A and B are shown apart, each in its own frame.
Chain A
Amino acid sequence: MTAERRDDLTDAERDLLARVVAAAPPPPEPRWGEYRAELRARLDARRSIGSRLRRWWARPASIALSFAVATALLLFTLHPVERRPDFAALDEAMLGARLDLLEHYHLVERLDLLENFEVIRRLDDVVSREG
């Protein structure tokens, strides 16, 4: 036990930990040659990806393109397109509600005309005089 192992444990406790860890089953040993070959392959793959990324980033066009895409995404996220009321749809709805009037438009037109001449208001008088 070295002096720098300031652990506040008693000797019995240290011994307990040591025995527990020593009793642990040994890990199944890999074939080290295969292990290193696999590691080398993984490292080579990582290096080639890294170098490709570095080469890509070294091009001014790539940097400009990346910034453009990032800026567009940022703007789109911060300022989503405003949803304005759809006036055409509103107009259509109103027209739909007045469909009956439109179908008899010629009659409406005449009634309007007669109203202008105050014929409608005096209609009772006209009838009684005729009667």
Chain B
Amino acid sequence: MTDDREATSDETLCRRIAARDDAAFDVLVARYQARAYRLAWSLLRDVEDARDASQEAFIRIWEAAERFRGDARFSTWFYRILVNVCLDHKRRGRWWTRLVSRDTDREGDESLVERQPAPGPDPGDHASEAQTMARLWTAVHQLSAQQRAAVILYAQEHLSTAEIADVLKVAEPTVRVHLHRAVAALRKELAP
């Protein structure tokens, strides 16, 4: 049992990928595809970009597998590659796609606030919890790229601040500052 788990641990699969084992690569992709795609989508908010960035991260894993030293967990290393690809993607931008609007992207880019039903006629009505959260989620996307990545890695992927620091290649106190600023921005959004 332990041997089976060892045989299919991420780190073992990575070593096999370094030896150019296609089957190990397929297992790793199947294991991480949903997480990678979801994280890329959370950072990029675009279906095509998320697909492209997450696939690019897998290709880089294939190319760089022999450089994985095993000092950190494989997942941390993978997140680092993926987040870097996403941040690069965001920096470069895709100006030509912005010129041509796509239906799918329009749906993906539309903020949740815009998708909420119009508020009722009574001005005294409080926004529902869902609406408030949607507004806050939109606020998360107005944070800087690194702050947003820190929030998503923390709250969505449940990484520790040390792991986030490792992924973002910043000091751990910087991650804490990112999280504090994010919370401050959200509190400001919540204020009446």
Contact = CB atoms under 8 A, between A and B. Distances in A.
Interface in B45-82: 47, 50-51, 55, 58-59, 62-63
Interface string B147-159: 0000110111000
Given A8-B180, A17-B151, A46-B59, A23 B51 contact: no
A9 B172 contact: no
Specify the main secondary structure of chain A where it touches its partner: helix
Contacts of B176: 6-8
Interface stretch (B2-10, B94-102, B133-141): B133-141
For chain A, give the interface size range: 20 to 34
B38 interface: yes
A16 B186 contact: yes
A16 B134 contact: no
Contacts of B38: 26-27
A4 B155 contact: no
Specify the main secondary structure of chain B where it touches its partner: helix
A20 B140 contact: yes
A21 B108 contact: no
Interface of B: 25-26, 29-30, 33-34, 37-38, 41-42, 47, 50-51, 55, 58-59, 62-63, 104, 107-108, 112, 130, 133-134, 136-137, 140, 151-152, 154-156, 160-162, 172, 175-176, 179-180, 182-183, 186-187
